[in-house]
Structure 1
Amino acid sequence: MIGRIQRPVDFERVLARPSRSRSAHFALHHLSADLAPSAWAAAKLRTAQAELSTGESQPVHNVVEHQPPSVPNGCWLGMVVPKRHARRAVTRTLLKRQIRAAFAATAGIPPGLWVVRLRSPFDRQKFPSAASDALRQAARDELAQLLDRALKPPPKREAAT
């Protein structure tokens, strides 16, 4: 199962890296790491250890640290589909579903954080309907090519003699 990146700090870490693969409309970024540790767990621990001002000290309850539902070597997916490139919510939802479907259908995805970013809009003259079958197929094909290029091992360089 592929987890979802939800915290801004995780998006920032991945998008700070150069894109691993690009197509006409999408860019794919990858960071081979786990989610960032939660910052608020430390704050909760400090609060639990503080003394209460109500007189007699009460027992301090152990704080259960919130852990994201992660597998140590899990695959996490984030999507950036801005309104400036897909004006209608129907189109943004269609593209997000196609991105999730493309990742689910692709075998052999290395673990880490993955972000797919829509970098340019689809031509409204070619796809006048916000959620047409033609747009769905075009996005599906382009995402499949994007993932194939990203997962293909880099070509070996020949040693200079």
Structure 2
Amino acid sequence: MQRLKTRSQFQAVLAGGTVGRTPHFALHRASLEAPVVMQKSSAPAATPVAALFVVHDLWMGAMVPKRWAKRAVTRNAIKRQIYSVSADFDAALPVAAHVVRLRASFDRKEFTSATSDVLKAAVRHELQQLFAGVTARSPATARQDGAT
């Protein structure tokens, strides 16, 4: 599994569409046939610099905005859970680029600590529901081992 790193990769995946939702998370997916990044130069025609996704593999990214998780420790804990759960569903997900986006905050009255075990368990449970729902709907597109 590869991780998304650049802003243009995240933007391409978010433009691809939403494939699953839970109360707090949304899963976005884009095929790896994304457009090529174009570099603006003084030359009359723009030339392709590099493809967004150079490796034909499963790509994963996590977006946890400050708007929904104020403390950095909480954002980091949620991102770790996203990458951990996505690794569990690695074989069932299709070869594509994915982004898990936090779209609502967890209630601070229920989860008083920024990184409690209760919060981690709730995040993990909801992410497992998200990935299980997406993989159950698209078994025909799940990647095959040894496929290119």
For residues 114-158 of structure 1, the C-alpha deviation after alignment (integer angstroms, 9 at most, x for no partner) is 00000000000010000000000000000000001111126xxxx
Q: Does 1:143 align with 2:127?
A: yes
State the shift of 1:70 in Å: 4.3
- Tell me the C-alpha RMSD between the 2 structures: 2.2
* Equivalent position amino acid for 1:117 in 2: R
- Provide the residue aligned with 2:83 in structure 1: 100
Q: Which structure has the larger Rg over C-alpha atoms?
A: 1
Please give the per-residue CA displacement for 1:92-124, whole angstroms capped at 9, x wherever unaligned: 000000000011111321111100000000000
**Please, which runs of 5 or more residues in structure 2 have no aligned partner?**
44-48, 139-148
CA contact (8 A) 2:17 2:30 kept: no
Residue 146 of structure 2 aligns with which residue? none
Residue 18 of structure 1 and its aligned partner are, at CA, apart by: 2.7
TM-score of the superposition, structure 1-length normalised?
0.72
1:21 is matched with: 20
* Count of residue pairs brought into register by the alignment: 131
Change in Cα spacing, 1:15 to 1:136, as seen in structure 2 (3 Å) is same
State whether residues 12 and 34 of structure 2, in contact with CA within 8 Å, keep that contact through their aligned partners in structure 1: no
2:111 aligns with one of 117, 127, 145: 127
Identical amino acids, percent of aligned pairs: 40
Write the mapping of 1:6-155 to structure 2, written as runs, cut at 5 A. 6-33=5-32, 37-39=36-38, 70-72=54-56, 74-106=57-89, 107-153=91-137
- TM-score, length basis structure 2: 0.78
Distance 1:148 1:98 in 2: 15
Q: How far apart, in 2, do the equivalents of 1:24 and 1:66 lie?
A: 36
Query: Structure 1: which 5+ runs fail to align?
Result: 47-64, 155-161
- How far apart, CA to CA, are the structure 2 residues paired with 1:127 and 1:15? 29
Whether the aligned pair in 2 keeps the contact of 1:3 and 1:70 (CA below 8 Å) is no
